[in-house]
Structure 1
Amino acid sequence: MNTHVSFTSSSGSFGEFLEDLAALGVAPVSDGGRPYGLLKARTNDRWWLIPISGGRPSAAAMAMFQPVSLAATIIKAGVTTAARLGVSSGWSAGRLRFGALPNLPGKRPAGLAHCAYFTGTAGPHRKTAIQLMAEDGDILGYAKVSRRPLVKPYLAREAEMLRRVGRLALATVDTPAVLAFDPGSAVRPSVLVTDSRKTFGAKSSVRPGGAHLRFLSELASRTRSNGVHRAFESVRALANEIRLPAAWTRRLLSGAARASRFVDGLPVALAHGDFTPWNCIMLEPRLYVFDWEYAADDLPLGYDLVHYLLATRHGADPADVISDLNQRVGALFSDLDLETVRTCVLVSLLLHAAFYLQRQLDYAGSIGGWTDGDRRGRLIDACLRQWGAPAC
């Protein structure tokens, strides 16, 4: 087998990925089977496994790679061309051969002939993703797989939320349909299988446009209510966590004190929870939105917009960023007064921080692995300074 020893090790995220596949009846083989090239991310521990038998299925496999920068777009174009020609030299860090297609719950999608794989990003919520393709490379759907007790509830939530959002029959968005969901067991992985409207040439936008804003407005209007107290309990509880650095303890306490007088009446709605350029694509005039595992009912108006805007915005002055977030949330929800807008932005940032801080503590015992933590902390500080609170 032409690969590196570390790829087949039982340790690390790649080893865990191989164990996920083994649970579905997919294992590396020395001869025969289906060859895959290994594309490694430049900045973190994640891999795409692209079939390199050539032709349209090999090119279509790169639909799993969602570029949001010019450099990544150029890389995708080059790898796509090479994969279509059956060439792996120049981009692949090695090769693997798999002897079978995965055994998935429910009825196998009609015409399933090829798969591409994504290991997921190493970290607390790593999960394996599988792109299901027909003989001609058309994308039939996706499967998500996890054996981690920490992740399994999120796959169940996504299955529930996809069914719920589908029943809303929103005019501005399409979402995947659930084909099968197996919650798994102590020894069996959770597996979620959905269809897809994604195509090989589908694109996203780094900045939210009209289709994004229409979707966020309609989702909020259809599910809007008041009171963020249930979700806000995570902020209050985390502020008492002894493993939290002192700066974050002060920050959360100050934010909770500022927002607590408003949380019972704060406008909230169902939100996607991880609305980013890589979790949606343009299907004009509608948007196609997937990956709903972090969706929740009681997130502040503007939560998704704030998350989208911050996903690719780095390096700007925190005060300027907060001013821009306030303006954009206020423009989207024009019935809100400035005080409510500011509070929605602050609570959105606090809830996001509490989620990531708690997740990192549960996974590693410290917050050192949250690479975006310092920037998020500075943004919360800038929010608090609007009301004269000192920086942490």
Structure 2
Amino acid sequence: MSPVKTAPAELTAGDAALRTQYLEEVLGLLYPPPCTVGDGDPEIAEYLVVPNARRPRLLIPAASASVAAAAVRRYAEPQSRMARLKRDAVVAAVRTRTTGLLLRDRIRIAGPVSASIDGYLSSALRRDLSVSVHIGPARANRKPVLQLLSPEGETFGFTKIGTGPLTQRLVRAETAALTALGTCSLTRLTVPRVLHAGQWRGMQVLVQSALPVWLPRSPLTPRRLTAAMLDIAGCSGYTTGPLTGSAYWHDLRGKLAAVGDRAEGSKLVAAVDMLARHSGETTLRYGAWHGDWAPWNMANLADALLVWDWERFATGVPLGFDAVHHELQRRIQNTGDARGAVEATLRRADELLAPFGVAPVAREITALLYLVDLAVRYLTDRQAEAGARLGVLGTWLLPVLVRRVEEL
């Protein structure tokens, strides 16, 4: 399992600066006083910065060549041939200890191990380990994500750390989701197991097992993907009823009320009111969904479909949300045209939702409700204020949503 998100676009200068700032923040959280960044004694850890300190993406432990190589090889699946070549070059460099040619920046951490995240995790899991740290792009839900490696270089777990109100809530939600899914008889997909959950220095900690994403991939057929989504949809049972009489609608209206005083929120509320007048009596079927089933949150092997990042899991939502979300995220990833991706996804609503048993009369409504749900999430999380690439809904999602609702 690798909860690391990869993006097709290159880092901008602004994003690079934010990553550098975020790196400093993360180090201060993981190694608080009396730990210090820099030379000192005793040394807790030494990291190589990939690719460099100006554009940090990954910190890998420098003490062991085999552990460092595993940290790079298993941290994320490259999205292009060039990215794979760069990764392989870094792996070769750390294996042969010629990192000075590619990785010139190092970070040393000194102080008592007991005060560090390394000490906490080693004690909680009762095993020796090394930590590799992912430095992600700006998002409201960005949080420290640590890859945990054994002394032999085995990736055995990933740790998410909730540092603020939003990320703490998400880490708790993922803990609850994985715990619940562990009791379901899922046959079409594999999810991580909870290895440890707790609090450290006021932060929420979740350690989950590593899914073997580094194994060879197989082509994923639409049929297999749909079967896995249906496996999740029914994991807590189904309900049926009119939209405006559902628990889902009641919850959605509550979330809208919390963002309705903002410019984009008021436009969203107006669109939802119009949607209710037109389709409020439409009967829908409700079940569970992953909440962020995107191409980068899964890996298809010959004998297993691995799916991770369950922090948005929810029950009682209109069936088919996962299919619409996956299609939209896939199109945005492939084209970079978010507004065009929304348009194209809505045009495919019939095709996407038919396998979920969604009645023809309810398919466009379901796709529009998904867009509302996604917009509410962005506004609630304040993605625009966090600098997220798609945080400003008025540039892509809202115009399409409002127009399509008006055309109903």
TM-score range normalised by the length of the shorter chain: 0.7 to 0.9
Corresponding residue to 2:185 among 169, 175, 199: 169
- 8 A Cα contact 2:122 2:128, kept in partner: no
Aligned residue number for residue 72 of structure 1? 83
Aligned partner of residue 234 in structure 2, secondary structure: helix
Aligned residue number for residue 351 of structure 1? 373
- 8 A Cα contact 1:38 1:92, kept in partner: yes
Report the Cα offset of residue 155 of structure 1: 1.1
Corresponding residue to 2:270 among 233, 253, 257: 253
Report the Cα offset of residue 170 of structure 1: 0.3
CA distance in 2, matches of 1:143, 1:359: 22
Q: Which amino acid aligns with 2:97?
A: G
Aligned partner of residue 172 in structure 2, secondary structure: helix
Worse-superposed segment, 59-68 or 158-167: 59-68
CA distance in 2, matches of 1:193, 1:287: 21
Q: Are the structure 2 counterparts of residues 39 and 319 from structure 1 closer, same or farther at C-alpha, using a change threshold of 3 Å?
A: closer
Structure 1 residue 237 and structure 2 residue 257: aligned? yes
CA distance in 1, matches of 2:320, 2:162: 30
CA distance in 2, matches of 1:200, 1:24: 36
Aligned residue number for residue 209 of structure 2? 195
- 8 A Cα contact 2:138 2:387, kept in partner: no
Aligned partner of residue 144 in structure 1, secondary structure: strand
- 8 A Cα contact 1:52 1:88, kept in partner: no
- 8 A Cα contact 1:114 1:135, kept in partner: yes
- 8 A Cα contact 2:300 2:306, kept in partner: yes
> Which residues of 2 match residues 74-113 of structure 1 at below 5 A?
74-89=85-100, 91-92=102-103, 94-99=105-110, 100=113, 102-104=118-120, 108-109=124-125, 112-113=128-129
Q: Which amino acid aligns with 2:24?
A: G
The TM-score, its normalising length taken from structure 1, stands at 0.80
Report the Cα offset of residue 183 of structure 1: 3.8
Aligned partner of residue 222 in structure 1, secondary structure: coil
Structure 1 residue 321 and structure 2 residue 351: aligned? no
Query: CA-atom RMSD, angstroms?
Result: 3.6
Q: Which amino acid aligns with 2:261?
A: E
Q: Are the structure 2 counterparts of residues 259 and 47 from structure 1 closer, same or farther at C-alpha, using a change threshold of 3 Å?
A: farther
Q: Which amino acid aligns with 1:194?
A: Q
Corresponding residue to 1:57 among 59, 63, 67: 67
Aligned partner of residue 310 in structure 1, secondary structure: helix
- 8 A Cα contact 2:283 2:362, kept in partner: no
Residue-by-residue CA offset, 1:207-250 (whole Å, 9 max, x unaligned): 774443221011113333243214422553156213x24xx633
Aligned residue number for residue 4 of structure 1? none
Corresponding residue to 1:339 among 357, 361, 364: 361
- 8 A Cα contact 2:52 2:105, kept in partner: no
- 8 A Cα contact 1:202 1:281, kept in partner: no
Aligned residue number for residue 216 of structure 1? 229
> Which residues of 2 match residues 31-50 of structure 1 at below 5 A?
34-39=45-50, 47-50=57-60
CA distance in 2, matches of 1:41, 1:327: 47
User: Number of residue pairs matched?
Assistant: 370
Report the Cα offset of residue 128 of structure 1: 0.9
Aligned residue number for residue 122 of structure 1? 138
Aligned residue number for residue 382 of structure 1? 400
- 8 A Cα contact 2:218 2:301, kept in partner: no
Corresponding residue to 2:23 among 14, 17, 21: 14
- 8 A Cα contact 1:51 1:115, kept in partner: yes
Aligned residue number for residue 286 of structure 2? 268
Name the structure where helix makes up a greater proportion of residues. 2
- 8 A Cα contact 1:349 1:376, kept in partner: no
Q: Which amino acid aligns with 1:150?
A: L
Q: Which amino acid aligns with 1:299?
A: V
Aligned residue number for residue 4 of structure 2? none
Gaps of 5+ in 1: 1-6
Q: Which amino acid aligns with 1:250?
A: K
Aligned residue number for residue 152 of structure 1? 168
The TM-score, its normalising length taken from structure 2, stands at 0.77
Aligned partner of residue 150 in structure 1, secondary structure: helix
Aligned partner of residue 358 in structure 2, secondary structure: coil
Report the Cα offset of residue 18 of structure 1: 0.8
Residue-by-residue CA offset, 1:14-66 (whole Å, 9 max, x unaligned): 22201221259975341655432212599x98631022445332222122234
Aligned residue number for residue 3 of structure 2? none
CA distance in 1, matches of 2:145, 2:216: 18
CA distance in 2, matches of 1:58, 1:149: 33
Aligned residue number for residue 301 of structure 1? 319
CA distance in 1, matches of 2:311, 2:359: 31
Q: Are the structure 2 counterparts of residues 90 and 204 from structure 1 closer, same or farther at C-alpha, using a change threshold of 3 Å?
A: farther
Report the Cα offset of residue 188 of structure 1: 2.3
- 8 A Cα contact 1:20 1:145, kept in partner: no
Report the Cα offset of residue 348 of structure 1: 0.8
CA distance in 2, matches of 1:280, 1:24: 37
Q: Which amino acid aligns with 1:254?
A: A
CA distance in 2, matches of 1:124, 1:180: 24
CA distance in 2, matches of 1:285, 1:346: 34
Aligned residue number for residue 3 of structure 1? none
Q: Which amino acid aligns with 1:59?
A: A
Report the Cα offset of residue 200 of structure 1: 3.6
Aligned partner of residue 98 in structure 1, secondary structure: strand
CA distance in 2, matches of 1:93, 1:357: 40
Corresponding residue to 2:310 among 280, 287, 292: 292
